[in-house]
Every structure is written in C-alpha cells, then in structure tokens.
Structure 1
Amino acid sequence: MASFDFDQAEGLRRMLAGPKPRIVTFLSATAQDDKGAMLVNLGASLAQSGNDVLIVDACEHDYGVAQRLGVDRGPGLLEVARQECALNQVIHPAPQGFSVVKMRPGRTADERRRLAKAFDVLVKQAAGSIVIVDGEFSDEGGFPVPIMESSEIVVQVSTGATSITNAYALVKRLSQHLGRRPFGILVTGATEAEAKVVYDNMSSAATRYLAVTLSSMGSVPADEYLQRAARLGRAVVDAFPLAGASVAFRRLAGRFATGVSRAA
C-alpha cells in the first residue's frame, strides 16, 4: 500500500506541474490550401466552444495558417531562439479567437537546439491550451522540433485517388521514422459515407502491410459556405453557423477537445 506521505508528495508535484497543453500536429495529403483553411475553421470552432487554442505554423513550403492570416511577415519563433525578440512579440491574436505563431526551421544544429528550447517554453506558457501544429514531415524524415515526434499526429486526406495514395505513403514514412504508433486520419471534402470508405480502406491497408493502427478523427463535407466565409475573412462557424461544414467542425472540435477518436 502506498504511504500517505508518498501520495501527498505526488499530489503536490502534480499541482505544481499544472495543466499540460495538448499538442496535435497536422500533416496533409490534400491540395496546398486545404490544410490551412481546415485549421482556421477547427481553431475557431475550438475557441468558440471555450478552449484556449494556439496554432503554430511550422510550414516551410506549404501555404500555412500564418501566411493565410497575414501574420507571417514579422519575426517568428526562430528569432526568439536567436534572442532577437521576446516570445510575446511573435504570438498574434487572430480575429477567429485563437492565437498564431510562425515557426521557421533552424538551419544549423545550434539553431535547431535553440528552436526546440524556445518551442518548449512556448508550450509551457500555453499550459491548459490546445496547441495545434500546422506541420510538415521533411523528406529526410523529421520535424522542426523533436517534441512534435511525440505529439498526436493527424493526417488530412481527401477522397481523390492521389490524395489517398499520398496519405498512405506519408503514414508509411512516419511509421518507418517514428516507429510503430497510432496516427489519426481526417477526411475533408467528403460525406460521412465517403469518409468511411476512405478511412476503412486506409486502415485495412495500414494494419495489414505496416502493422500500424489508424484512428478516424471524423470528416468535413465539401461546402460552398467554406469559400464564402473565407472571402469574408471569417470562420464558417461564425459566418454561417447552420452550414453543413459548421456542424461538422463543431462536432470535430468536440472530439478534439476531449481527445476522442473512433473507427469510422
């Protein structure tokens, strides 16, 4: 039986540690702009339901959230790592209700080490928040900072054959470099029935040929109101709350907030 003193000390340590942020890294096998649009709407949906949300744009090549929202021109986390500016100078509030930080990758081993420390400080400061990483997995098989390797990883895929093929190849590369572990699958531009077919096929192949378990994170339908909201500079859940995409994003936000995934 554990002693009272041990239990008391363990409880004190947990209290002092405080709440930990949830880190979810999103990768995409869809068109360049799809992931940024999806993350803006997911972040807005999470914020609207009462969550503190920080989106870290870690894209080097793709069209990331910071660029989409026009906050990519100033200093970012790399400049914080170089001690050229303070952390609070690179955290930008977005009108959709969440905050955004741009993170350019380090070029040297020293810069990458400093960047990893700066990211750790950012994450600790975001205690109690949901930290969403708009990420890329490099051709060499890595992320800009090591902590992303142990974060939850979700791959966005559409119903197109090329997207499905690329998503499976990405899952294969991830498992080769990070070892056997689960990955989430989010299907966008699809009905629930279409998403189930995509997920079931990918899950079956991943289990059979990679010994990897996939989890369904849900789906978002194709919806003209997504484009309408984007042209207005707003999230669809705010501009058109009754749209099909809004319903899907609210459902998605609820599942991400509670950390629930399911077999589609």
Structure 2
Amino acid sequence: MSKLVSDQADGLRRLLAQSSARIIAIASMGHQPGATTTAMNLGAALAHMGKDVLLLDEHSLEMNSVSAEWALDPLGTLADVVYKRLTCDGAAARTPGGVSVLPAPLGGQPDHTDPRLLWSGDMILVDAALDGVGNLSPLARMADELVVVLQPNPASITATYSGIKRLHYAHALRQLRLLINRVADPEAARQTMANLVDTGSRYLAVSMQPAGWVRTDPHMPDARRLGQTVVEAFPTSPAAVDFRVIAAAVSQWPWRPAARPQDARAALWRPEALMPEPANEEEDDRVYRTGNL
C-alpha cells in the first residue's frame, strides 16, 4: 500500500510541476577527475535511450570542460537564454549522439534561474562546479538529485565524506546519491558504498543512496582521444555497459520534493554553517576505515 501511495504522490508532483524535466547535478569533491566524464557518459546513454538531454556545463571556462572534451563551440550561454538573447536550442551545441550542451559558468546567470522554464526536454544534467569554499551553486542546489562521484581509494573517500559533511551544514543537505568510478573490484565498491551510506545516516542524518558504479575500462583514454564518450565510441566496453545500466535506473528514481529556497538561504546564513564542524573521533575513524577496506 505504501508503494502505491508513494507512486501516486510522485505522479501528482509531476502533474503539478511547471515542467516534467528532471534536473540531476553531478559533482565530485577534491581534485580527482570523474564528475565531468560521468555527466558526459550519462548524457550520452540517456540520449541513446531516446531522452532529450540538456547538459549544463558549470566548468565551461576550464580546459577539461564538457565543451572542450566534446570539441563543441556553443553559440551562447545559459545567461543568453535567460535574458532572451538566444533560444536554448540556438545557444546550445548538439553532439552527434544527441546531447545538447550549454555553458553555465558560476555567477553567469541570476541565482533564481530555473532551467526547467527554458527547456522542454526530458532531462537536465548539471556538470556542477563547487565554489571557492566548496559549496554548491544555486543551479546545482535546485536539482532534483545530487550525484556525488568518487573513486575507491582512501583519499577520494575521505575527501568525499568531508565534502558531503560541508554541504550538509552549508545547505541543510539531507539526501544525495553516490557513484563510484574506476572500480576494479565491484564487491569492494559495494562494501565501500554500504559503509558510506551507514556513516552518513548515523552521523549526519543524510540519506545517501547508491547510484551505481563504473568499472575501470582501458577504452576510456581511447574514447577521449577520439573526442567521444566511451558510451559513444565503445558501447560494449565495461564502463559503457555500466553507464547504460545507471541511465536506465535514473528513470526509476522516485521524484523527491524539492528543497524550499528559503530553507537553503537560511542554511547558508546560519553562523554555524561558516564555522568548522566539531571533531568527532569515532566518525573520523569510521571514514578512515571505510577508505582502507
């Protein structure tokens, strides 16, 4: 019965929404790569499934941005669309695989910009950039889902948990999904995911749900050399298969009620959000052991 009620509530939210497009923000903590590649491959996999995908690139001014990796030259930015200088289709560049890419550099558009009002497609992905203190942009905070990408090594796991903790105190973040990239041992990745989910629930009251994992794949550098994603260039390779599995699962993720903007603003201006969190030796030890499985 609860499943039926949940499905009906999800359907009602979609009906009342101004747009049926779902926004998924994809981010990573620290300096390890993974989020941009994940956003590109997930976009390519969703487009292959017939979804109309817009990828907003918050890293557009950087060397390894989505546009640079795909060798695209969009005619405008999200700000051009917001101020009606261009239409979304006119400003974005489209990949051969059908993903529309639109630069959205941090601070380039008003904080209240809702891309669902500008795009009539199925899915909006945000290759999210953290600001100077490690917080999410207004665009990423507006997302229906936040997917945090990490790698199965101690440094990445520790940086990821620390970053999630910071986001929790800065934005009152209560839910997100974890995606583990460059996985050599799926069973170890599963255990790492379970430990992080348990630790986040126990010490932060943050719901961390698995988004999946992507295996290490020797075809990834070859795809990048060709200016394509591994999903496009080598669709039967291990990573491409994993990205398609994740893309297929996205449509099954339940729709969650969006956080109220006033709550997010209040969290940003709480004095404690600007202060370091108190040390918790048991928590720190558990995160350390998670990274050293």
**TM-score normalised to structure 2 length:** 0.72
- Hey, what does 1:5 align to over in structure 2? none
- Hey, what does 1:102 align to over in structure 2? 103
- Hey, what does 1:222 align to over in structure 2? 216
Distance in 2, Cα, partners of 1:160 & 1:260: 30
- Hey, what does 2:268 align to over in structure 1? none
- Hey, what does 1:179 align to over in structure 2? 172
Distance in 1, Cα, partners of 2:15 & 2:150: 39
- Hey, what does 2:34 align to over in structure 1? 34
Q: Which amino acid aligns with 2:34?
A: D
Deviation at 1:223, TM superposition (A): 0.4
Q: Which amino acid aligns with 2:123?
A: I
Contact 1:21 1:124 in 2 (8 A): no
- Hey, what does 2:249 align to over in structure 1? 255
Distance in 2, Cα, partners of 1:226 & 1:215: 26
Determine which of 119, 126, 145 is the counterpart of 1:152: 145
63-72 vs 184-193, which moves further: 63-72
Instruction: List runs of 5+ in structure 2 lacking aligned partners.
Output: 1-13, 256-293
Q: Which amino acid aligns with 1:236?
A: V
Determine which of 89, 106, 110 is the counterpart of 1:112: 110
251-260 vs 164-173, which moves further: 251-260
Change (3 A) 1:47 1:30: farther
1:245 has 2:239 as partner: yes
1:93 has 2:90 as partner: no
1:236 has 2:237 as partner: no
Contact 2:128 2:140 in 1 (8 A): no
C-alpha distance after superposition, 1:19-78 (max 9, x if no partner): 510000011136554222222211111111111111100126683312322336753123
Distance in 2, Cα, partners of 1:84 & 1:73: 14
Instruction: List runs of 5+ in structure 1 lacking aligned partners.
Output: 1-13
211-220 vs 149-158, which moves further: 149-158
Distance in 2, Cα, partners of 1:129 & 1:92: 17
Distance in 2, Cα, partners of 1:94 & 1:153: 24
Secondary structure at 2:23 match in 1: strand
Contact 1:41 1:249 in 2 (8 A): yes
Q: Which amino acid aligns with 1:36?
A: T
Paired positions, count? 242
Deviation at 1:92, TM superposition (A): 1.0
C-alpha distance after superposition, 1:181-204 (max 9, x if no partner): 211000010132121122122112
- Hey, what does 1:162 align to over in structure 2? 155
- Hey, what does 2:3 align to over in structure 1? none
C-alpha distance after superposition, 1:203-244 (max 9, x if no partner): 122112112111000000000012222222223233222211
- Hey, what does 1:9 align to over in structure 2? none
- Hey, what does 1:24 align to over in structure 2? 24
- Hey, what does 2:187 align to over in structure 1? 193
**TM-score normalised to structure 1 length:** 0.79
Q: Which amino acid aligns with 1:158?
A: Q
76-85 vs 88-97, which moves further: 76-85
Change (3 A) 1:80 1:137: same
Q: Which amino acid aligns with 1:39?
A: A
Distance in 2, Cα, partners of 1:173 & 1:72: 35
Q: Which amino acid aligns with 2:102?
A: V
Distance in 1, Cα, partners of 2:38 & 2:140: 23
Change (3 A) 1:30 1:246: farther
- Hey, what does 1:4 align to over in structure 2? none
C-alpha distance after superposition, 1:135-163 (max 9, x if no partner): 02324464433573453111000011111
> Identity of counterpart residues, as a percentage?
28
Query: Which aligned pairs between 1:1-150 and structure 2 lie closer than 5 A?
Result: 19-29=19-29, 31-59=31-59, 63-71=64-72, 74-81=75-82, 85-106=86-107, 112-113=110-111, 116-117=112-113, 120=114, 122-140=115-133, 142-145=135-138, 148-150=141-143
132-141 vs 162-171, which moves further: 132-141
Q: Which amino acid aligns with 1:112?
A: P
Q: Which amino acid aligns with 1:164?
A: I
C-alpha distance after superposition, 1:75-128 (max 9, x if no partner): 312344456544433211012321101012227xxx535xx33xx2x4234334
